[in-house]
Amino acid sequence: MRLLRGAGRISLTVLLSTAIGTLILVSVGTVLFITASANLKNTVELLREAGALTMSNLETRLRDYLEPAEELADYFVYLVETGKIDMANKQQLRDTLLGSLGSSPQVSGVIIWDKDRVPVVAFEDVDGVVTPVPPAADNNLALTEATAPKQPAWSAPVSIDGTSYINLQTALYHDGEYVGAFATGIDVANLSKLVDEASGALGMTAFILYGNQHVLAHPRMEELAPRSRLDRLLNLLFLEGFADRILAAFPRRETDIPQAGSDFENAIVEYGDQGYLFLSKQVSGYSPQPWRIGVYANVADIGDQFIRLLGSTAVAFLVLIVAIVLGVLLARYLARPIIQLSKAEAQVGDLELENIQIPRGSFIREINNQILAFNRMVDGLRTFETYVPRALVRRIISQGGSGTVTSTESDLALMFTDIIGFTKMSENMAPGEVAKFLNDHFTIVNECIEAEGGTIDKYIGDAAMAFWGAPDAQSDRAARACRAALAIKRRMEEAAKAGTGPDLRVKISLHTGPLIVGNIGAPGRINYTVVGDTVNTGSRIEDLCDGVDDGARAIILVSDQIVAEAGEGFEFTPVGNFSVKGKTKPVEVFRLIGEKPVGTRTAQIAAETATPA
């Protein structure tokens, strides 16, 4: 299975911090955004709805106020069309009109003409009292078949005797024949009372404009009219020059009014050092020109609501920041034991069991169980590494694991060590003392061998066997073996002199040659070891040390192959040729004295490479 390396992978802390922070940001941020947006929208909507409510109230009142006039016109159209009323019967007309106007107090007056433009009957409602009035024969408002609309329709405001009316007109038919006309009017002044009743919410002022140039209704119309400019033709006040300077500053062109929604429009009007929010909408059907109903209010009167909104939004934002920080801290807290486990597991992978930082327990059950399991594993490995050469396992792992180890033949450098006179020394020792004695000795041997990249093969009693050149290929294997042997000698001398180690002597043999190296053994018990004739020869050379024992702390004998491969950095003295059991040819043996000084080696190399004169 292909293993994923660390390069290009994301850190758990970053992942958890990002994940938790993102979740908090998305969840809380979404809620905050929705809440803030909702609050802002609600605040704006509250204002808009207050204005819209006022306008809706005004529009409803306006419709309810004008609707009786429309119903009255429809009623007379029906009566005449069905013949239930006779246009020639003036008394019947008067009685019918009188009864109808009594139930429609907002209607200011009504007049009916016959087909020859002759006024038939007229009534006027003044302060709730309906009275017949004599129709003027020269009334220039008289309707004809050509000028009367076929269906009831509102016409432009008219002025009669200094009073402005909005009026509804329609033609009257009987059996499809034109028989007269009907008109009813409502005093424009009554509309100002209507908007006065609709104003008031959030200090708003309601108004009605006729087209874009005239003021039709205002709560203070009676007060402001004398100080405003009058359009004498329509008997209506101009918007430009209107005494309410705030309303007079209202945009008079539709393009100046930015859209706020499908229901109504808004605009900000600056007057003096104050801003005024206008909400308005067009209504049609009450005259040839559309009306604009609306409200306005001082922005400063509603600013406190926005300040409270901003304050609550700032608090919510701070809560979001705190939540993200706490989320990141929680992510780091959750990730810390896992990261520590990851580092400790990497140390286990490198077999650095003595320096492992065991993570502390966690309140999270699964992580705590993992830590406990890891601790048990480390304890087991620490016990196991006592029996397995750590350096060997590390090198095999670096090469791809035990599955890649196959038995091959290679040229290796071999070392044997043996304590001189160990049997006699151990006779008077207790078993525990013997074990400690050997452990101290093998600690020195092992450190020196591993320092030079060697592999401890096995310990046999007081003897040790090691090799170089596998599992890592080492071209300088003979030199490494020589340096390791000299290091053992030096360490033993230092330990004996300082009294920190066992006072003993050792014999060491070095030999190089072809060997079978790899995993050898049964499936349940495999050793990474070497076998071959070179092992036997190396062991025989070690036996020869007894014949040249001069009392030295370490007697190091090497074969001529070692001398040939070790190079010129070492000092050897010949011991002689010896017959070795199992070999037909004698083995030339040398004694390793030490390493040559650097200066000596340099001079020797220069002399050997100099060109003869």
Domain of 558, CATH number, reads 3.30.70.1230
Of 44, 43, 59, 58, the residue nearest 260 (C-alpha):
44
* Host domain of residue 239: 190-301
Domain stop point among 280, 301, 322: 301
Which residue is listed with tokens 């958890």?
16
Least confident piece of the model among 8-22, 339-353, 595-609: 595-609
Measured in residues, the chain has a length of 613
Final residue of a domain: which of 278, 301, 324?
301
Confidence of residue 136 (pLDDT cuts 50, 70, 90): low
Here the tokens at position 359 are 């993570």
pLDDT at position 533 = 87
Q: Are 277 and 400 within one domain? A: no
202: left (phi over 0), alpha (psi -120 to 50) or beta: left
The mean pLDDT value for 418-424 works out to 89
407 and 276, same structural domain? no
Q: Is residue 532 part of a domain?
A: yes
Report yes or no on 325 lying in a domain.
Answer: no
d(CA 416, CA 488): 12
pLDDT of residue 256: 43
Domain presence at residue 45: no
Give the residue from 452, 456, 469 showing the smallest Cα distance to 413.
469
Is residue 481, in this structure, part of any structural domain at all? yes
609 has a pLDDT exceeding 60: no
Out of 26-30, 103-107, 293-297, 300-304, give the one with best mean pLDDT: 293-297
Say whether both 459 and 584 belong to one domain. yes
Residue 262 sits at the vertex; the CA angle it makes with 256 and 267, to the nearest 5 degrees, is: 30
Q: Does residue 586 sit in the same domain as residue 472? A: yes
Give SS3 for 217. strand
**How many folded domains does the chain comprise?**
2
Task: Give residue 418's pLDDT.
Answer: 93
The pLDDT, as a whole number, for residue 2 is: 42
- 282 plus 425 within the same structural domain: no
Q: Is 25 exposed, middle or buried (0-12, 13-18, 19+ CB in 10 A)?
A: middle
Strands (E), 102-176: 109-114, 119-126, 129-132, 153-154, 158-160, 163-174
**Sign of the alpha-carbon torsion through 225, 231, 234, 238:** negative
Name the residue with higher pLDDT: 368 or 602.
368
Assigned domain for 28 exists: no
pLDDT at 7: 47
pLDDT (tens digit, 9 = 90+) per residue, 521-535?
A: 776 667 778 888 889
Chain centre to alpha carbon of residue 303:
34
pLDDT of residue 41: 61
**What is the predicted pLDDT for the residue at 529?**
83
- % the chain with pLDDT above 70: 75
Q: What is the pLDDT of residues 368-384, one digit of tens each?
A: 777 777 777 777 666 65
- Out of 284, 301, 318, a domain closes at 301
> Does residue 604 form part of some domain?
yes
Note whether 404 and 518 are same-domain residues: yes
Three-state SS at 298: strand
- Please indicate, yes or no, if residue 175 is contained in any of the structural domains: no
- pTM of this structure: 0.46
Residue 603's pLDDT is 47
Residue 227 falls inside a structural domain = yes
Query: What is the C-alpha separation between 138 and 122, in angstroms, rounded?
Result: 14
| In a shared domain, residues 572 and 437 | yes
What does the DSSP 8-state code read for residue 264? -
pLDDT single digits (tens) 170-215:
999 999 899 999 988 888 888 888 888 877 655 688 899 998 889 9
Q: How far apart are CA 291 and CA 297, in angstroms?
A: 20
Amino acid occupying residue 300? A
417 beta partners: 464, 508
CATH of the domain at 257: 3.30.450
Residue found under tokens 């008067």: 94
Going by their DSSP bridges, the two strands 554-559 and 506-522 should be labelled as parallel
Question: Are 294 and 418 in the same domain?
Answer: no
In 10 A of CB 238, how many CB atoms?
15
Contacts with 388 (C-beta within 8 Å, 6 or more apart), sequence order: none
* Residue 254, pLDDT score: 46
Are 287 and 402 within one domain? no
- Residue 365 carries which side chain, given as an amino acid letter? R
Are both 406 and 527 inside the same structural domain? yes
